[in-house]
């Protein structure tokens, strides 16, 4: 978790070096997802995938404020959460490819990645699972007195589900150090969130007295600042915090998506607020970083992904004798 | 059995069954996540919303409320069908299904019945990973009051689903993901409904009885073809429903073949395959010269194709197991 | 459901006759529960029971505003809900006694009574079950266009559970004609509700935009009025209503209850606000009914219960051959 | 086996096991509804809160959050034990147990284990009605990665629970409500832990093997006494754990007796009894002269004593079934 050391600073202020890292990580996620998509079409990635494209600022902003020992629970849309936290993209891609060198040796696949070394307790294919798991991790942090927090990522649609309600209540009752990050991308799969959700999502944690904030989820600096505050609140022992990051998914919900549900022009509007565009702008304007330097990052990441794919496709598949062996533990 | 003139896709069979019953009975309603406007993530139900309007409903991600809502509606005059997208998510809906719906008719002293159908897509083989590939049968079968049906063909899917919708008490209707795109011959003379709880001998043979359900039946049929080439006459029984359970058909088959192999996509321990074998053994022990279950390893379902493929029981494994246990020539082709 | 006809009036105003009926019904519940308790101790009632003593005004007030065809889902603490709705107390007692003449032929017992003729779709032994079931019944009412409503009774502790959250949201999204009646008796079993609940219960439905009200749950007239409004709201098509009736349980949670959790003096304070005392007072003051007339009701009810017990204990047990037969449907 | 000098109550055995493990390992925590201040509705855990403070927690009525919380805590350094008051409520907690906890070790490629124990009170016979009397074994047994343990005696309860808490992956620990008040002899020489997945021959015999778990074992032992009077030597095997499943001990017993009767408090269809019989038959068919399952009727569990009593398998039914199937004198006392 080397990349997270800069966030040990109490605030969210960041130097040019750190800002560039944020941008690089967002670009890494975007290029990773584009690559997964291509490789899926080529038949090298199996089953299904849910891409994070468009939502990068949310995961990167939040994870950049975490400390060693903090825990993260991501979702089936979890490549972004994983990379934001520092999971090796090679291991992640190898997992998509179903290789023995994958983060979970090819057993997990896109939706269920675990990387305990990075604090990623899991990506949760079952909607809501991340919320319950992070609440439990926060219980452990509290009872063990580690001073750590746990973060649950989940989507807007997940706010209508059992885990959400029960876990938020319990976390607040026990004043657990957990941050609930609701990535509101306006849709639950193909359904506009307002069609299936009564009231504003944020009013639910507020009704429980949970510290709640909404933030522009496409602005990585805004997310950082809000996440920093939320994490600080949780870490201080004041109980859980709830952060709603308003964002938008640029690609289909999963590999098969009719896409007919988007309102006319909506995608284009949001693309103007692409977290990478906003990120570039901020880096240029606030840190005086020249566009060429950012292009270099982009090229660099593109090259990295190319190499990742090459290595990944050359990696061995797991041995069926391992995967099928008696479940001993 | 059918004077087949056309073919029907499994997913279309399901859609047609729902449509036909909604047409026939206006108390039939259908809901689930993204089933209405989008037509379902497996493209099973497009067009129903356009046709039946408010009787087809997109729900929030609330599996428990759906299940309980179906229960409450079923005991007050509707016949709800609801979809749990992946059968793995049934675990979130089980309290209402098991504690309310399955018990209603009995506990109410037969005052009220509970005509609901829960549809779910089950099964591995698509590299969806451990939480999107399970067969829920082991969780559901030991629940008196809850019927469990899983069709192997498009024709059966249509007729069994129509029967399930007309049934006065809860039915779990399980659709194998690997079957949605198969096409089967159907004919105008096919029955509109098939009785729930009636197994079918789908191929006759004298040497061994292969018993399975859903996709497994198709694997057994292919295995039987290959075994025939090796001189083994395999009878294939499609149990179709695991509750009620038609033991008679199986006992009759076993009395003839004296050997029984159950093929289950799921674990051996706690699975329906060995359970069935135990029920048959208790009644037909002396008819049996040999009997066993072909099931999955006792682990969660792996993602990688090189792990998932060998995890699944398939035609090759059935042929190999039967041939070797029966002492037939050992050089068995797998896969083919 | 003869007793409910008076409530066909749009409002909650009631004449002396009707008021006397309300009182009688509350007394019937109280005496019924006292009798169950005695009979439990004598070994004639089996398993466990959860008595409604102290909460009578809530169930009676709400049910008195219902119409023919409306549906009710009660809880394991459901004798009160059942009698309030018009279930024959003889059938109910016979069910407790495990007799063939019971409401469910002895199959259900105290926690799971169903009486469809009275609109009681069930009493739900599983916490939260009533909420989900009533929501479903409201869906049926809406789609069938019956003009009916469904009522879910449940306790304060149930507001922390999955059914509560998922069903409230769905009901509001679909604008279902359902009234959620949360009987807040301050405890979840032996635990003070505030120890396990974040924020005020009523703020949860409010966060979903559900019409919400809190009412003195020991004043049957107040409950009637508030319930009338809630039911009207639901019936009008405006969506669900939420009613929190503030009340108190005078007896143990169930047959075995340490009872140590009550705050000192709390029970005595609440006993001063016994719904029967408040009821008598209102009948005397508002309707000029003489105390003697109310004593007559009490005596009458006592006699009724005595006869119920006699008949119940003389009733036949169910035939095992029936109960154990193959489950056909 | 034990040089018994005292007796131990089943509920106290459980309490002592929790206390001993909490003492031994400070990462062990315990939570559930009303388990702390009130000491549990079955009076199993009084005193633990006073002794271990914040490590013993009263929770809201949130079975799913509890289960998920235990999972999250277990994969980050704690060893949570949580109580689901009545096993019937496990249905609300199953998603996390089955989809997360049971799969973690395998799916994470053995990066992380998930040491949690879920305790629950199961079983009928107390007139609690259909939703407070079930055995959850049929729902849980077909879940690779989730151990299922159900002790028959106080001594076993203590040693198996201690083993379950020390186990590195999830264990469902099922306590029969009818056993909480039984007292069994224990001795200072008793083992601190018993291995999970090891059956025990608790009585030797040569004519028939009676196999059961939990309360059923005690019914079998009493039945064996009575059968002995009728000249039938019944061996009794306590399977103790239904996953892992110790088939070896049962196969060895059956090889000796040639007859196997499984006694299950639960349905036949989808139950563990016939499943076990099927597994044994597949391996030991030719050792078996007779084999069957004594289970409950295929209905929900009735409330009235006159319905519930005959619903349950008991000593009388076992004696009657064995004696009549073995052709022993027919005038069998029931109940006794
Ligand atoms: C319990 C459960 N129900 C349904 C699904 C299928 N599913 C996967 S993603 C999804 C939509 C989730 O929407 P949201 O929470 O908004 O997250 P997003 O996908 O938009 O990131 C659904 C319904 C699931 N995985 N788990
Ligand atoms: C799902 C579930 N969990 C736990 C229980 C056990 N239980 C029965 S009543 C009860 C307390 C309910 O409290 P509340 O909702 O306040 O209702 P009250 O009993 O006070 O009327 C509990 C925990 C149950 N029946 N169902
Ligand atoms: Mg979304
Ligand atoms: Mg309460």
pLDDT reported for residue D4: 66
Mean pLDDT of D211-232: 98
Question: Could you read off the pLDDT of A189-240 as tens digits, one per residue?
Answer: 999 999 999 999 999 999 999 999 999 999 999 999 999 999 999 999 999 9
pLDDT reported for residue A255: 79
Question: Could you read off the pLDDT of B69-95 as tens digits, one per residue?
Answer: 999 999 999 999 999 999 999 999 999
pLDDT reported for residue A321: 80
D132, D176, D286, D320: the active-site residue: D132
Question: Could you read off the pLDDT of C64-114 as tens digits, one per residue?
Answer: 999 999 999 999 999 999 999 999 999 999 999 999 999 999 999 999 999
Going by the DSSP 8-state scheme, the letter that residue C209 receives in this structure is T
Does an H or E element contain C76, and which?
Answer: none
> Are residues B76 and C136, on separate chains, in Cβ contact within 8 Å?
yes
Kindly indicate the confidence band of residue A69, based on its pLDDT and cuts at 50, 70 and 90: very high
Bridge partners, residue C73, by sequence: C122, C152
Given a cut of 50, whether residue D48 has pLDDT beyond it is: yes
Q: Is C97 helix (H, G, I), strand (E, B) or coil?
A: coil
CB-CB contact of D142 with B270 (8 Å): yes
Given a cut of 70, whether residue B335 has pLDDT beyond it is: no
- What DSSP assignment string belongs to B259-323? EEEEEEEEESTT-HHHHHHHHHHHHHGGG-SEEEEEEE-SSPPP-SHHHHHHHS--HHHHHHHHH
Given a cut of 90, whether residue B107 has pLDDT beyond it is: yes
Given a cut of 60, whether residue A147 has pLDDT beyond it is: yes
> Are residues B242 and D270, on separate chains, in Cβ contact within 8 Å?
yes
pLDDT reported for residue D166: 98
> Are residues B270 and D140, on separate chains, in Cβ contact within 8 Å?
yes
Given a cut of 70, whether residue C219 has pLDDT beyond it is: yes
Count CB-CB contacts under 10 A for residue D229.
9
ipTM of the complex, rounded to two decimals: 0.97
pLDDT reported for residue A328: 53
Residue A185 tokens, joined: 């991308």
Given a cut of 60, whether residue C328 has pLDDT beyond it is: no
First-residue to last-residue Cα distance in chain C: 29
Burial class (CB in 10 A: 0-12, 13-18, 19+), D46: middle
Question: Could you read off the pLDDT of B13-31 as tens digits, one per residue?
Answer: 999 999 999 999 999 999 9
**Which segments of chain A does DSSP mark as H helices, in order?**
16-41, 56-63, 79-85, 89-96, 129-144, 162-173, 193-196, 203-207, 220-235, 266-272, 275-287, 291-314, 320-323
Question: Could you read off the pLDDT of D146-191 as tens digits, one per residue?
Answer: 999 999 999 999 999 999 999 999 999 999 999 999 999 999 899 9
Given a cut of 60, whether residue B129 has pLDDT beyond it is: yes
Q: Alpha-carbon distance D10 to D181, whole Å?
A: 6
Residue D229 CA from chain centroid, whole number: 29
Is A126's Cβ below 8 Å from some Cβ in C? no
Does an H or E element contain D264, and which?
Answer: strand D259-267
Question: Could you read off the pLDDT of B162-219 as tens digits, one per residue?
Answer: 999 999 999 999 999 999 999 999 998 999 999 999 999 999 999 999 999 999 999 9
Distance B90 CA to ligand 3 centre (A): 21
Indicate the range of A164-173, B24-33, C246-255 predicted with least confidence: C246-255
Of C253 and B233, the one with more pLDDT: B233
Kindly indicate the confidence band of residue A1, based on its pLDDT and cuts at 50, 70 and 90: very low
Chain D residue closest in CA terms to C106: D304
Model's pTM, two decimal places? Answer: 0.97
pLDDT reported for residue A320: 87
Supply the mean pLDDT for chain B.
95
Given a cut of 80, whether residue A258 has pLDDT beyond it is: no
Kindly indicate the confidence band of residue C327, based on its pLDDT and cuts at 50, 70 and 90: low
Given a cut of 80, whether residue B131 has pLDDT beyond it is: yes
pLDDT reported for residue B330: 43
pLDDT reported for residue B3: 61
CA atoms within 13 A on the CB side of C159: 29
Mean pLDDT of A26-42: 98
**Nearest-by-Cβ selection for C209 from A160, A166, A199:** A199
Burial class (CB in 10 A: 0-12, 13-18, 19+), B248: exposed
Question: Could you read off the pLDDT of B249-305 as tens digits, one per residue?
Answer: 999 999 999 999 999 999 999 999 999 999 999 999 999 999 999 999 999 999 999
Ligand 2 pocket list (CB less than 6 A): C 76-77, 125-127, 154-158, 183, 185, 187-189, 253; D 33, 61, 63, 85, 89, 92
Of D36 and C3, the one with more pLDDT: D36
Phi, psi dihedrals of residue D59, rounded to the nearest 5°? -105, 165
Supply the mean pLDDT for chain C.
94
The size of the A-C interface in CB pairs under 8 A is 65
Pick the atom of ligand 1 nearest to A156's CA: 16
Residues 136-165 of D with CB under 8 A from A: 144-145
Q: Alpha-carbon distance C39 to C35, whole Å?
A: 6
Q: Is A221 in the pocket of ligand 1 (CB under 6 A)?
A: no
Kindly indicate the confidence band of residue A5, based on its pLDDT and cuts at 50, 70 and 90: very low
Q: How far is CA D309 from CA D125, D268, D313, D317, in A?
A: 7, 17, 9, 11
CA A150 to chain C, closest CA, distance in angstroms equals 19
Q: How far is CA A168 from CA A131, A151, D62, D251, in A?
A: 8, 12, 11, 50
> Are residues C111 and D132, on separate chains, in Cβ contact within 8 Å?
yes
Q: Name the percent of chain D lying above pLDDT 70.
A: 96
Phi, psi dihedrals of residue C262, rounded to the nearest 5°? -65, 140
Mean pLDDT of D91-112: 97
pLDDT reported for residue C8: 37
CB-CB contact of A123 with C132 (8 Å): no
Q: Is B7 helix (H, G, I), strand (E, B) or coil?
A: strand
**Residue B132 appears among annotated catalytic residues:** yes
- What DSSP assignment string belongs to A69-94? T-EEEEESS-HHHHHHHT--HHHHHH
Does an H or E element contain B246, and which?
Answer: none
- What DSSP assignment string belongs to C153-190? EEEGGGGGSHHHHHHHHHHHHTT--EEEEEEE-SEETT
Phi, psi dihedrals of residue A226, rounded to the nearest 5°? -65, -40
Count CB-CB contacts under 10 A for residue D251.
17
Question: Could you read off the pLDDT of D103-132 as tens digits, one per residue?
Answer: 999 999 999 999 999 999 999 999 999 999
Neighboring chain A residues of D111 at a CB cutoff of 8 Å: 104, 114-117
Question: Could you read off the pLDDT of C270-326 as tens digits, one per residue?
Answer: 999 999 999 999 999 999 999 999 999 999 999 999 999 999 999 999 998 875 454
Q: Alpha-carbon distance C277 to C283, whole Å?
A: 10
Mean pLDDT of C25-34: 98
Residues 6+ apart with CB under 8 A from D319: D223, D226, D227, D230, D332, D333, D334
Does an H or E element contain C279, and which?
Answer: helix C275-287
Neighboring chain A residues of C195 at a CB cutoff of 8 Å: 173
Number of H helices, E strands in chain B: 12, 14
pLDDT reported for residue C259: 78
Mean pLDDT of C205-214: 98
Across D34-132, the runs of DSSP E, i.e. the strands, are 56-58, 79-86, 117-122
Kindly indicate the confidence band of residue A4, based on its pLDDT and cuts at 50, 70 and 90: very low
**Nearest-by-Cβ selection for D269 from B102, B245, B270:** B245
Pocket perturbation via mutation, ligand 1, pick of A152, A180, A188, A201 by most ligand atoms within 8 A of CB: A188
Does an H or E element contain D65, and which?
Answer: helix D63-74
């Amino acid at each position: 978790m080397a990349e997270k050391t800069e966030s040990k600073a109490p605030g969210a202020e960041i130097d040019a070096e750190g800002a560039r890292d944020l941008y690089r990580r967002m670009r890494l996620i975007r290029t990773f997802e584009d690559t997964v998509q291509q490789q899926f079409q080529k038949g090298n990635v199996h089953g299904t995938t849910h891409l994070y494209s468009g939502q990068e600022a949310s995961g990167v902003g939040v994870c950049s404020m975490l400390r060693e020992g903090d825990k993260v629970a991501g979702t089936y849309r979890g490549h972004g959460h994983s990379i934001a936290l520092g999971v090796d993209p090679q291991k992640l891609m190898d997992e998509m490819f179903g290789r023995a060198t994958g983060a979970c040796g090819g057993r997990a696949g896109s939706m269920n990645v675990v990387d305990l070394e990075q604090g990623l307790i899991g990506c949760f294919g079952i909607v809501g699972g991340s919320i319950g798991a992070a609440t439990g991790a926060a219980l452990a942090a509290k009872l063990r007195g580690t001073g750590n927090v746990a973060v649950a990522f989940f989507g807007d649609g997940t706010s209508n589900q059992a885990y959400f309600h029960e876990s938020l209540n319990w976390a607040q009752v026990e004043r657990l150090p957990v941050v609930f990050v609701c990535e509101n991308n306006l849709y639950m799969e193909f359904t506009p969130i307002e069609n299936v959700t009564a009231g504003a999502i944020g009013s639910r944690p507020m009704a429980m007295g949970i510290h709640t904030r909404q933030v522009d989820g496409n602005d990585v600096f805004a997310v950082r600042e809000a996440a920093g505050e939320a994490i600080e609140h949780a870490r201080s022992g004041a109980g859980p915090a709830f952060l709603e990051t308003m964002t938008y998914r640029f690609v289909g919900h999963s590999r098969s998506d009719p896409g007919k549900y988007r309102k006319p022009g909506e995608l284009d509007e949001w693309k103007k607020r692409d977290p990478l565009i906003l990120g570039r702008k901020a880096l240029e304007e606030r840190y005086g970083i020249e566009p060429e330097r950012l292009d270099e990052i982009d090229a660099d990441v593109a090259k990295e992904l190319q190499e990742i794919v090459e290595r990944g496709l050359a990696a061995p598949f797991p041995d069926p004798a391992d995967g099928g062996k008696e479940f001993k533990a | 059995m059918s004077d087949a003139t056309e073919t029907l896709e499994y997913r279309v069979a399901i859609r047609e069954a729902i449509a036909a019953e909604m047409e026939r009975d206006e108390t039939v309603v259908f809901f689930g996540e993204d089933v209405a406007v989008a037509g379902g993530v497996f493209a099973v139900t497009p067009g129903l919303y356009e046709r039946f309007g408010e009787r087809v409903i997109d729900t929030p991600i609330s599996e428990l409320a759906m299940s309980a809502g179906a229960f409450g509606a079923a005991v007050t005059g509707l016949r709800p069908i609801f979809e749990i997208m992946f059968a793995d998510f049934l675990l979130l809906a089980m309290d209402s299904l098991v504690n309310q719906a399955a018990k209603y008719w009995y506990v109410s002293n037969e005052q009220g019945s509970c005509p609901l159908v829960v549809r779910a897509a089950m099964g591995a083989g698509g590299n969806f990973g451990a939480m999107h590939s399970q067969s829920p049968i082991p969780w559901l079968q030991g629940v008196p009051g809850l019927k469990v049906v899983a069709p192997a063909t498009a024709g059966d899917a249509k007729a069994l689903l129509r029967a399930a919708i007309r049934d006065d008490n809860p039915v779990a209707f399980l659709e194998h993901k690997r079957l949605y795109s198969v096409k089967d011959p159907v004919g105008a003379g096919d029955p509109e409904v098939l009785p729930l709880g009636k197994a079918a001998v789908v191929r006759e043979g004298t040497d061994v009885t292969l018993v399975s359900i859903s996709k497994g039946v198709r694997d057994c049929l292919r295995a039987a073809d290959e075994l025939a080439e090796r001189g083994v006459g395999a009878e294939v029984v499609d149990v179709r429903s695991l509750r009620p359970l038609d033991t008679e058909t199986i006992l009759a088959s076993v009395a003839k073949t004296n050997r029984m192999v159950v093929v289950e996509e799921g674990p051996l321990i706690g699975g329906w395959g060995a359970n069935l074998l135990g029920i048959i053994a208790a009644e037909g022990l002396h008819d049996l010269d040999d009997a066993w279950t072909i099931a999955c390893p006792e682990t969660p379902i792996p993602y990688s194709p090189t792990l998932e493929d060998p995890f699944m029981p398939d035609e090759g494994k059935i042929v190999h197991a039967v041939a070797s246990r029966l002492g037939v020539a050992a050089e068995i082709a797998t896969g083919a």
